[in-house]
């Protein structure tokens, strides 16, 4: 019996026709499913993580049914709300059962408890660390974040593209709990462990390209980007890193140099690392008319060749769909042309898939939309269902160029984060979440295009899968309207929808829901977005 009183309403087809089984009276079925996943993850790793019965046998059924429903040490169910499956609430197979999948506000936002915490935050936390919404999270499940006042907010941000599989997904919770009970750290560079190897094997299998690959694990996206550059420099013996207008690669010294936007990422934080050359990006909305992908690539290549020289370039680092820069989708042909130029000039082509990767865009990796095979792929965010983990994966001949001890770090590839990644990857693969993301994208896109027909302020609808955006301009002009984007986002926040902005000009609203969000929840959030636009344009 599952503690908390929830029953097997979490079984059965989900909103996207996906079925996962984690229920009370279904232990046999649950155990079979868990075992199937464990086997698929390659051998006895998960078996090792499972609790043992007194006889020493692995108790798979107990492991899955206890987590997170039974001995779950996290926040308790919110008794002020009807639970999932109660009348009027849609059952959400990807949510922790305690979190009803419904927007529900019980106070104004921010509520009194959040305001108290905000005051403490202001006195204790450095001002440079900002928060978009002054609403403090207490727990989360599926596509809902519950704040400290009991408000249920729809999450259209996924913590910036991190909880792609959903919040508190049972498999991820179970993986983390099992691993931390075994050991939380040894340092892979001191005493290695299987989870790290299994994540690398999965990355080598999942990333584009059927050549021999290697992976290395890190903590954050920026750290992985830095390491991709180190590896490329070592492999080529060259210095220069080519990046693009509007790019975002992180906030460390080298990645600040690689990031385009000054405020808030760079201002006053220099001097920055050298040997970084910025080339023009393909930005279909703002490029001169007739600039197709080939022409935009030719423009970039011409700048690189004339101002750097191909022979000095170690790597070209590109986000296949730009993230913070405004969800810019380069014109078709731009990325393949650059990749071909890299191959011809022995330049390492690095796809920064930190935001666009891991089932976010309707492919496992956004590079796949145009069949591009990068030499190195940088991943983070959605890789581990919310735990900090990042990676560089690519051609063995390049990856193995770094000498022993040249890359790594104390916490890189932490075992708990690796367990979360294995569970997230298994969830994505077993439950067909790449396809789910593609269908979600169609739904999002059709809604946003309808919205564009009503609001001339929407200059562009773009993105793929569960990574979509609208760019807001002053109607009939190319003038960005950052004020409108900020007001629309604020309206969403006040009405219980976590919506993010982005873009070099701050005029883009981006939508990054968990791919497992229910249709009802998504529709409700989009209705709030439409209302926000209607109210704020006037």
Ligand X SMILES: Cc1ncc(COP(=O)(O)O)c(C=O)c1O
Considering only the stretches 123-131, 217-225, 359-367, 414-422, report the one whose residues sit in contact with ligand X under the rule CB under 6 A: 217-225
| Minimum distance of ligand X from residue 255's CB (angstroms) | 7
Dihedral, CA of residue 230, residue 235, residue 237 and residue 238, to nearest 10:
-60
Best CA proximity match to 152, nearest among 530, 527, 525, 533: 525
Can residue 93 be called a binding residue for ligand X (CB under 6 A)?
Answer: no
3-state SS string for 112-149: HHHHHHHHHHHHHCCCCCCCCCCCCEEEEEECEEEECC
Strand order in the sheet with 390-395: 213-218, 390-395, 376-379, 348-352, 313-318, 240-244, 276-279
Q: Which residue is nearest to ligand X (CB)?
A: 221
Q: How far is the CB of 377 from ligand X (least distance, A)?
A: 12
Nearer to ligand X, 350 or 492 (CB): 350
Contact letters for ligand X, residues 122-161 (x by CB under 6 A): --------------------------------------x-
Nearest to 20 by CA among 146, 172, 195, 144: 172
Cβ at position 369, least distance to ligand X in Å:
16
Q: Which two tokens stand for residue 432?
A: 């067909």
Closer of 46 and 217 to ligand X (Cβ): 217
Q: How far apart are CA 498 and CA 500, in angstroms?
A: 7
Residues 371-390 that bind ligand X (CB under 6 A): 380
Q: How far apart are CB 442 and ligand X at their closest, in Å?
A: 24
Residue 261 within binding range of ligand X, rule CB under 6 A: no
CB nearer to ligand X: give 324 or 329. 324
9 binds ligand X (CB under 6 A): no
8-state DSSP, 362: S
Among 149, 352, 368, 460, indicate the residue that binds ligand X (CB under 6 A). 352
| Closer CB to ligand X, 182 or 252, in the complex | 252
DSSP annotation of 316 reads E
Question: By CB under 6 A, is residue 354 in contact with ligand X?
Answer: yes
Could you tell me the smallest distance in angstroms from the CB atom of residue 148 to ligand X?
25
- By the 10 Å C-beta count (0-12 exposed, 13-18 middle, 19+ buried), 288 is classed as exposed
CB 396 within 8 A of CB 410: no
Q: Which two tokens stand for residue 310?
A: 């191909």
Beta bridge partners of 395: 213
Based on CB atoms, which residue is closest to ligand X, 39 or 262? 262
236-255 residues near ligand X, rule: CB under 6 A: 248-250
Instruction: Please check whether residue 164 is in contact with residue 380, taking contact to mean a CB–CB distance below 8 angstroms.
Output: no
Give me 226's structure tokens. 């830095």
The residue (of 324 and 368) whose beta carbon lies closer to ligand X is: 324
Query: In terms of CB distance, is 320 or 480 closer to ligand X?
Result: 320
In the complex with ligand X, which residue's Cβ is closer, 179 or 255? 255
Rg of the chain over all Cα atoms, to the nearest angstrom: 23
Our finding on whether 221 is near ligand X (CB under 6 A) is yes
Site for ligand X in 311-330 (CB under 6 A): 319, 323-324
Nearer to ligand X, 110 or 437 (CB): 437
Q: For ligand X, give the closer residue by CB, 225 or 509.
A: 225
List the structure tokens of 33.
């499913």
Nearest approach, Cβ of 323 to ligand X (angstroms)?
Answer: 3
Taking the C-alpha atoms of residue 504 and residue 294, their distance in angstroms, rounded to an integer, is: 23
> How many whole angstroms from its chain centre is CA 5?
32
Q: Please pick, from the candidates 67, 90, 204, 355, the single residue that binds ligand X as defined by CB under 6 A.
A: 355
Q: Which stretch binds ligand X (CB under 6 A): 53-61, 135-143, 198-206, 221-229?
A: 221-229
| Site residues (vs ligand X, CB under 6 A) | 160, 220-222, 225, 248-250, 319, 323-324, 352, 354-355, 380
């Amino acid at each position: 019996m599952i503690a908390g009183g929830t029953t097997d309403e979490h079984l059965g087809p989900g909103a996207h026709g996906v079925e996962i089984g984690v229920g009370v009276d279904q232990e046999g079925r649950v155990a079979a499913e868990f075992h199937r996943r464990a086997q698929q993850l390659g051998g006895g790793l998960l078996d090792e993580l499972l609790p043992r019965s007194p006889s020493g046998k692995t108790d798979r059924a107990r492991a899955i049914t206890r987590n997170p429903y039974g001995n779950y040490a996290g926040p308790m169910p919110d008794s002020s709300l009807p639970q999932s499956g109660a009348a009027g609430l849609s059952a959400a197979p990807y949510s922790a059962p305690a979190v009803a999948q419904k927007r529900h506000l019980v106070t104004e936002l921010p509520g009194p408890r959040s305001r108290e915490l905000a005051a403490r935050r202001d006195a204790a936390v450095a001002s440079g660390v900002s928060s978009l919404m002054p609403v403090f999270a207490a727990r989360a499940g599926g596509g809902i974040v519950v704040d400290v006042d009991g408000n249920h907010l729809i999450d259209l941000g996924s913590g910036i593209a991190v909880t792609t599989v959903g919040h508190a997904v049972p498999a991820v919770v179970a993986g983390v709990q099992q691993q931390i009970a075994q050991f939380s750290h040894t340092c892979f560079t001191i005493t290695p462990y299987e989870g790290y190897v299994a994540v690398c094997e999965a990355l080598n299998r999942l990333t584009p390209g059927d050549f021999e690959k290697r992976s290395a694990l890190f903590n954050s996206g920026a750290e992985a980007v830095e390491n991709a550059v180190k590896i490329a420099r070592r492999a080529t013996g060259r210095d220069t890193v080519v990046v693009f207008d509007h790019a975002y690669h992180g906030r460390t010294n080298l990645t600040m140099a690689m990031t385009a936007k000054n405020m808030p990422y760079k201002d006053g934080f220099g001097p920055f690392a050298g040997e970084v050359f910025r080339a023009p990006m393909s930005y279909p909305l703002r490029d001169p008319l007739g600039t197709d992908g080939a022409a935009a690539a030719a423009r970039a290549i011409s700048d690189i060749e004339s101002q750097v020289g191909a022979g000095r370039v170690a790597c070209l680092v590109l986000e296949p769909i730009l993230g913070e820069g405004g969800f810019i989708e380069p014109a078709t042909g731009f990325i393949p042309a650059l990749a071909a130029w890299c191959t011809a000039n022995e330049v390492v082509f690095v796809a920064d898939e930190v935001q666009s990767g891991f089932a976010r865009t309707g492919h496992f990796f956004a590079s796949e939309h145009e069949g591009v095979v990068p030499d190195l792929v940088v991943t983070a965010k959605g890789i581990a269902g919310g735990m900090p983990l990042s990676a560089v994966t690519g051609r063995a001949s390049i990856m193995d160029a770094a000498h022993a001890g040249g890359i790594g770090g104390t916490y890189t590839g932490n075992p708990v984060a690796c367990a979360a990644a294995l569970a997230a990857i298994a969830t994505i693969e077993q439950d067909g979440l790449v396809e789910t993301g593609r269908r979600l994208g169609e739904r999002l896109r059709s809604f946003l295009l309808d919205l564009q027909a009503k609001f001339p302020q929407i200059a562009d609808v773009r993105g793929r899968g569960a990574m979509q955006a609208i760019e807001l301009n002053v109607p009939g002009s190319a003038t960005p309207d950052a004020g409108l984007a900020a007001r629309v986002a604020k309206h969403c926040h006040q009405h219980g929808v976590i919506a993010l902005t982005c873009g070099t000009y701050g005029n883009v609203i981006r939508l990054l829901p968990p791919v497992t969000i229910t249709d009802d929840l998504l529709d409700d959030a989009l209705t709030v977005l439409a209302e926000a636009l209607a109210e704020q344009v006037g």
